[in-house]
Structure 1
């Protein structure tokens, strides 16, 4: 995870605000944020936020750093499946099955 945090320039003293967007979490630096990375520089996903996104303890997640916007986005693994499936369907001309 540290390479993602390094790309964002986030160190152990960074405070964050977290917003739920659909089934994903959007994290951004905020001096008044409730969450802090801490010395281990780990992003901890509070249970209340995980539940809102349908993420259970131990679930795989897909994390994306967007340095241009200063955000870290956490997607549940199933969201990645849906994104790739939708993208591939658009390449093939929609949801048709031409077999």
Structure 2
């Protein structure tokens, strides 16, 4: 039930749940979020640590960096390179 309540959460777990919902149906996304939450709780209890939420912005930035890295790898395999776009050259 807690995993389903993540849909309105502004935490990293809430962001993970919403991103999962975009890729798969809601039942599987709830199961994936519950599994992630269970692993997190087990890790905290077994190590005796305290949970610190990384916040939604941290998760989004990590996701953005991961996507950018994957795009750079794909472009390199195709013999291309990515060039950053400046804000004034973005409008065509």
Does the pair score TM above 0.5?
Answer: no
Which of the two has greater strand per residue?
1
Give the structure with the larger helix fraction.
2
**TM-score category, normalised to shorter length:** 0.3 to 0.5
Larger radius of gyration: 2
